[in-house]
Chains A and B, each alone.
Chain A
Amino acid sequence: DAGITQSPRHKVTETGTPVTLRCHQTENHRYMYWYRQDPGHGLRLIHYSYGVKDTDKGEVSDGYSVSRSKTEDFLLTLESATSSQTSVYFCAISDQGSNQPQHFGDGTRLSIL
């Protein structure tokens, strides 16, 4: 398995609280992605990064921010969590963006009450 670690693996929090999810890779891949997976919607891209400090929005970026200060770490922050952000969040990495396969972490299950 590619060296991707997501933390935490599970989290329960309350509406209005800030939440940060971490993705850590040991593969030195340039591209990192955050997706959310919900029943009936498949995987939807939230944000992605194409290098240190270089990020761009995906399909469902409202309410989320990201940061990448080091090659190996990509953080996803929910500034003020809402119940609609209850989901399973996946991080993925790729060496050459969409020209090569993406490798996925095992996900973070986030519940916002």
Chain B
Amino acid sequence: SQQGEEDPQALSIQEGENATMNCSYKTSINNLQWYRQNSGRGLVHLILIRSNEREKHSGRLRVTLDTSKKSSSLLITASRAADTASYFCATAVIQGAQKLVFGQGTRLTINP
């Protein structure tokens, strides 16, 4: 079964609104990473948050991590049409060697 599960599976909002995506996981982790994938392209890394961190920012992106609830959220503020993409969380499990386990992703559509 998937380590990471994302919610919602699809999200459609108006340009300028904020978008929030959630990721839940099952086992203890070293870090959690968020990636973006534009149609027909490979994944692009956005943010890495370590297990001892609670929040990280990068530009319009804000990631939170709650290890007690085994969950993370990605907030995109002031969304733009160019933010339309699929977003994936990936977890580096403590006993998982040097590999990531990806969730199934959230498909975000920004409407002009």
Is B42's CB under 8 angstroms from A107's CB? yes
Q: Which of B10-18, B62-70, B77-85, B99-107 contacts A (4 or more CB under 8 A)?
A: B99-107
Answer whether A48 and B99 are a contact pair too, CB < 8 Å, given A99-B92, A104-B44, A106-B41. yes
Q: Hey, which chain B residues are within 8 Å of A103, CB to CB? A: 45
For chain B, the count of residues having a C-beta within 8 Å of the partner chain is 24
Answer whether A42 and B48 are a contact pair too, CB < 8 Å, given A97-B98, A107-B42. no
Size category of the binding interface on chain A: 20 to 34
Answer whether A97 and B48 are a contact pair too, CB < 8 Å, given A42-B102, A42-B104. no
Q: How far is the CA of A101 from the CA of B40 in the complex (A)?
A: 20
Is A87 an interface position by the 8 A CB rule? no
Q: Hey, which chain B residues are within 8 Å of A56, CB to CB? A: 97
B98 nearest in chain A by CB position: A97
Is A42's CB under 8 angstroms from B42's CB? no
Interface string of B41-60 (1 = CB under 8 A from A): 11111001000000000000
Kindly identify, within residues 15 to 42 of chain B, every residue whose CB is under 8 Å from any CB belonging to chain A. Answer: 30-31, 33, 40-42
Is A98's CB under 8 angstroms from B96's CB? yes
Kindly identify, within residues 51 to 102 of chain A, every residue whose CB is under 8 Å from any CB belonging to chain B. Answer: 56, 58-59, 90, 92, 94, 96-102
Is A99's CB under 8 angstroms from B30's CB? yes
* 15 pairs from A and B in contact (CB 8 Å cutoff): A31-B98, A35-B102, A42-B2, A42-B88, A43-B102, A50-B98, A98-B97, A102-B33, A102-B43, A102-B90, A104-B42, A104-B44, A105-B42, A107-B40, A107-B42
